[in-house]
Amino acid sequence: MILVTGANGFVGSAVVARLASERVATRAASRTLPDRLPPGVTPIPGAELNGDFDWTRAVTGVDTVIHTAARVHVMKESTPDPLAAFLATNVEGTLRLARQAAAAGVKRFVFVSSVKVNGEATLPGRPFRADDSPAPMDAYGLSKLQAEKALRELGERTGMQIVVVRPPLVYGPGVRANFLRLLKLVRSRAPMPLGSVRNARSMVALDNLADFLCLTAFHPAAAERTFLVSDDHDMSTPELVRLMGAAMRRQPVLIPVPVALLTRVGRLTGLSAEVSRLVDSLQVDIAPAKQLLDWKPVQTADEAIARTVQSFLKNGG
């Protein structure tokens, strides 16, 4: 029996669907749940990390928890104290769940963390590795790091196996935030000043991440490990834009503008973070995932981007 938290979310719903397709007994926990769940999935409605939710019924009889629920990173933060809000949900709420899981005899706890624990950018040819010194740059990344540390300490005391997975940008049908903005720009045919960008970024398709998380729930070699995961196909921002355009049957207009000038404009306009995500590199090393777990992505990046674009267009773009 597997419990999936955040089961109504972008990642959690994909994990539930994957487990159901493999006919794995699954409990789906979320604050709200759809009226229909896949066959064999038991709903746990009203579940939330904030407050004093009692997870006892949800975790009793469960072998593994796949914990996707979280307060997620947002571009325009409106909370007066973002760090406190992230810590309350991503650390305290996670620990409340994990303690009750350990007390109920849960054997393994798979925690969906973030590459933001490693940092925001990589140097050419130097991808992030799971054993690198953490360097979170924002409240979200810091909260994920603190949750990782607290879970490992709990695992050492209780014997519950802790598995940490740090994905980079996750995309797929229904994606939002930065990826959706880029899709809309490509659709609009607006010229983009990205022709001189020569970066390399790792991403992970939703289906690939769901497959990997389900594998870590069972594989003996995943115990007590931290993994980075991606499509195993790093690409530049212009390459991503061209793939989006090809799927839309449109030719993007990429104007060559020096990256230094884009960076300077970002600083002057208060958009440094947005510009950095377009021009900087962020690569992850997934060799341990491939070697220790004998894993490979179930979907190529080209296929996943095409599916994402098709869904985007089907739903009105």
Residues belonging to the active site:
140
Other CB atoms within a 10 A radius of the CB of residue 120 amount to 16
Looking at residue 8, its amino acid is N
DSSP string spanning 43-102? EEET--SSS----HHHHTT-SEEEE---PPP-SS---SSHHHHHIIIIIIIHHHHHHHHH
Please name which of 98, 91, 208, 206 lies closest in space to residue 140, comparing C-alpha atoms: 91
Residue 117 is given by DSSP the state G
Report d(CA 279, CA 36) in Å as an integer. 42
* 152: its two tokens: 């490992």
Which DSSP helix (H) or strand (E) runs through 169? strand 169-171
For 259, phi then psi, to 5°, come to -60, -35
On whether the CB atoms of residues 178 and 186 are closer than 8 A, the answer is no
